[in-house]
Amino acid sequence: MSDNIVVILVLVTHWTDDYWYKSGEAPYSMSFESRVRELPRQRYRAVGLYWKGKLRGEFVDRTQQNPAFLFVDDIRSVDEGITLSYEYAGRINLTSLSFAERIRRINRYVDGFPLCFVLEDDEWKEIEMELNVVTPDQWRLHMEAPLNWLGDYFKIETYDWEAYERVVAACFNILGFRVKRLGALKRDEEARVPDGYLYTPPTTSKQSSFWVAYDCKARFNFPEKGDRPADEERKMIEYIQNEERRTHVMGVEPNNKYFLYVAHSFKPYAAEMSNRIHNATRAVGGLMTTRILRYLVEKRLRTGYKFIVENISRLFANREISFSDIDAVFPREDEFG
């Protein structure tokens, strides 16, 4: 499948009435379209569809439930299946049964459809027009980011920590930060440094300036038990306190301080860890996944001078940064006159 193809994912369930009316994760161990695995890592529009089937030995029929508009932020292989992270974006003004009957008219689904599959953009447009679907603006106007823009140098889905640190630092440079890389010093066991510090540009006013202590974790589900979360907290607190005494050299406001973890994905405990670091330092934290960093960089490339690096501080809230957070802070390209 081409990196630039525009698709809409369709996710089907009969588990609960509210399954698609909130954000969460959808696992599929069988009956999913194989090409879903091959989709590039980016943010997709999706539809959550309700169906019927057996649940704990009893038959349930949820086909009268409204389908939901969703965003899918993460597609990953788990054993023989896949798991998708999704975000709720509104309800569709018809029943799941009506929607499913229209899908069955597509040649490849005439005899039934899998529980997770792809509609291409022209197929969706026909369905939308024929069924008079009222689509939320944020969903309708979203287009997948063209991941090939960044080239091979920015393939940051890697477990090689040295390569990961290098590319993450390059991304921060593109965003407009001054980057002080320190990760290589960690080879000295006595060194107590993060992977680096970020500073706003020298042209930023003192009042608007800020700095960030950041650490990279080239793996999924940080922090795992082996990461010793208490040690991670202690180290980040030390990184922040050490740099706070030196920030005047960089011409930034010492009290405008932030910290950031960058990883392939995070466990819920990471947000609790961020809150504890915040309580100890008064610095505001952020959790940024690899996909979110890539999306932010491509937003910067597409919007040019309209992208204001100082606004990145608005993304920090001691929790994982989402695609919606970025879209709320930085304008869409189609809003530019």
* Domain-wise residue ranges, the chain: 7-144, 150-335
Give per-residue pLDDT as tens, 75-86.
888 888 999 999
The fold for domain 150-335 equals Restriction Endonuclease (3.40.91)
| Mean predicted lDDT score pLDDT of the chain | 87
pLDDT over 70 for what percent of the chain? 89
d(CA 25, CA 19): 10
Res 332: pLDDT? 62
d(CA 335, CA 118): 28
More confident residue, 153 or 2: 153
The one-letter amino acid at 217: K
By the 10 Å C-beta count (0-12 exposed, 13-18 middle, 19+ buried), 203 is classed as exposed
The DSSP 8-state label assigned to residue 123 in this structure reads H
Q: Which of 103-112, 129-138, 224-233 has the highest mean pLDDT?
A: 129-138
Whether pTM > 0.75 for this model: the answer is no
85, 43 contact by CB (below 8 A): no
- CATH (one of 1.10.287, 3.10.590, 1.20.120, 3.30.980) for 7-144: 3.10.590
